[in-house]
């Protein structure tokens, strides 16, 4: 039983062994990582340099481990382009010492996770698995009905939210965040729980990633729907998602709009019926 559970943990989103590409030149790291991947039965390929998105598609890889330091000044552009071109690709950055600003930038440009060297290959594998689990959950979203909250419509099948039909242009992680918060149905979620469920592993002491992403998400929601407030802070605890109209704002909900349309249609139908009787 335990062995079966371990095998499932190392499977990709489709249930098959993961296929990953590794863009790195650290021979010692690559050697140890390759041995571990071979034992897991994962197919893997080492890349000598950056490749175009269509090349990654042809390799049929589900995850990419990349040392951005090897890409020089073009690293950020390459990361953003690759992530945008292949939404289903899990990207784990595994690189040397970096600043908070660099890590935040990388995550916002499309990286799913960030590991700082020196690190153990087992940690890299665990983080790739966490990305794969999120992909598996994402595939299960395809048949989920849209969630309407205030003026926002959350579409799991599109990894996006809309305000009055206009896309709010959320990043993948921002969408995972709003999806999690809205599913809690008004319950306060602690920061640690949010991190565990969105990032896929335990939050390190002092990590402010949840606060950074919630702030960015809140700004986008309030810009797209200024008459509503959606995310509420519970200081020292976490966050709660509950659409509330701003005091003094004239708000017409979608439900009210639907009732108005139905009434108008009913009145029009009645008028047409009356006209037909008169003619007859």
Asked if pLDDT for residue 273 goes beyond 60, the answer is no
**CB contact burial 147-170 (16+ within 10 A = b; e otherwise):** eebbbbbbbbeebbbbbeeeebeb
Q: Do both 42 and 58 map to the same domain?
A: yes
Q: Do both 272 and 222 map to the same domain?
A: no
Q: How far is CA 113 from the centre of its chain?
A: 11
Q: Do both 133 and 89 map to the same domain?
A: yes
pLDDT digits (tens, 9 = 90+) for 92-113: 999 988 899 999 999 989 899 9
Q: Do both 170 and 102 map to the same domain?
A: no
Query: How sure is the predictor about 258, in pLDDT bands with cuts at 50, 70 and 90?
Result: low
Q: Do both 97 and 165 map to the same domain?
A: no
Query: How sure is the predictor about 274, in pLDDT bands with cuts at 50, 70 and 90?
Result: low
Q: Do both 158 and 275 map to the same domain?
A: no
pLDDT of residue 263: 61
Is 29 within 8 Å of 121 (Cβ atoms)? yes
Looking up residue 119, the CATH number of its domain turns out to be 3.40.50.2300
Q: For the chain, what percent of residues have pLDDT higher than 70?
A: 79
Asked if pLDDT for residue 2 goes beyond 50, the answer is no
Give helix then strand counts, H and E, for the chain: 10, 12
Last residue of a domain, one of 87, 120, 139: 139
Specify if 24 maps to a domain: yes
Domain total of the chain: 3
Specify if 86 maps to a domain: yes
Query: How sure is the predictor about 272, in pLDDT bands with cuts at 50, 70 and 90?
Result: low
Q: Which domain holds residue 207?
A: 144-245
Specify if 250 maps to a domain: no
- The pTM assigned to this predicted structure is 0.50
Q: How far apart are CA 133 and CA 56, in angstroms?
A: 20
Last residue of a domain, one of 107, 139, 171: 139
Asked if pLDDT for residue 278 goes beyond 60, the answer is no
Q: Do both 199 and 278 map to the same domain?
A: no
Q: What is the arithmetic mean of pLDDT over 211-228?
A: 94
Specify if 26 maps to a domain: yes
Asked if pLDDT for residue 238 goes beyond 50, the answer is yes
């Amino acid at each position: 039983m335990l062995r079966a559970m371990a095998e499932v943990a190392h499977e990709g989103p489709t249930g098959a062994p993961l296929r990953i590409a590794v863009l790195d030149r650290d021979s010692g790291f690559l050697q140890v990582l390759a041995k571990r991947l071979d034992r897991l039965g994962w197919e893997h390929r080492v890349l000598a340099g950056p490749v175009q998105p269509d090349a990654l598609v042809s390799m049929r890889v589900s995850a990419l481990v990349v040392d951005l330091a090897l890409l020089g000044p073009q690293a950020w552009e390459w990361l953003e382009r690759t992530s945008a071109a292949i939404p289903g690709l899990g990207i784990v950055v595994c690189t040397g010492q970096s600043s908070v600003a660099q890590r935040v930038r990388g995550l916002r440009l499309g990286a799913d996770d960030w590991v700082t060297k020196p690190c153990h290959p087992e940690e890299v594998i665990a983080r790739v698995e966490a990305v794969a689990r999120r992909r598996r959950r994402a595939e299960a979203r395809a048949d989920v009905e849209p969630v309407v909250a205030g003026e926002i419509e959350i579409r799991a099948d599109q990894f996006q939210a809309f305000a009055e039909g206009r896309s709010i242009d959320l990043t993948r992680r921002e969408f995972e965040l709003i999806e999690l918060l809205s599913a809690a149905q008004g319950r306060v979620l602690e920061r640690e729980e949010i991190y565990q469920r969105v990032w896929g592993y335990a939050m390190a002491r002092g990590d402010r990633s949840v606060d950074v992403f919630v702030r960015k998400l809140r700004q986008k929601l309030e810009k797209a729907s200024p008459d509503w407030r959606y995310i509420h802070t519970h200081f020292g605890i976490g966050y709660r998602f509950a659409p509330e109209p701003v005091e003094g704002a004239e708000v017409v909900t979608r439900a009210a709009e639907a009732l108005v349309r139905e009434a108008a249609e009913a009145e029009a139908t009645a008028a047409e019926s009356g006209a037909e009787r008169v003619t007859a």
